Amino acid sequence: MEGYVISRLNRIEGQIRGLKGIIEKDTYCDDVLNQIASVQSALNGVGKLLLECHMKSCVMDRMKEGGTNVLSELLVTMNKLIK
């Protein structure tokens, strides 16, 4: 899982560098905005993947141990993620 996330983040890093490059080349604004949307979508995908793993592991473990505030923490995190 970790390797997969790192691979996706590396691709996103490349997209960001490419985005910087097209801005430096004074590329048409619509093209830049489309690239920004693509980067945001890629980041959202990584966030969803990590959220799923977090819920299946960390959250479940803390609930089994009697953690009562874990759901409140999860809701705060989810609200930050879906802004």
Q: What are phi and psi of 25, to 5 degrees?
A: -85, 5
Q: Please tell me the predicted confidence (pLDDT) of residue 72.
A: 93
Query: Does 83 have pLDDT greater than 90?
Result: no
What domains appear along the chain, each with residue ranges and CATH number? 2-81 (1.20.58.1000)
**The model's pTM:** 0.83
Provide the 3-class DSSP secondary structure of residue 27. Answer: coil
Q: How confident is the model at residue 82 (pLDDT cuts 50, 70, 90)?
A: confident
pLDDT tens-digit readout, 14-67: 999 999 999 999 999 999 999 999 999 999 999 999 999 999 999 999 999 998
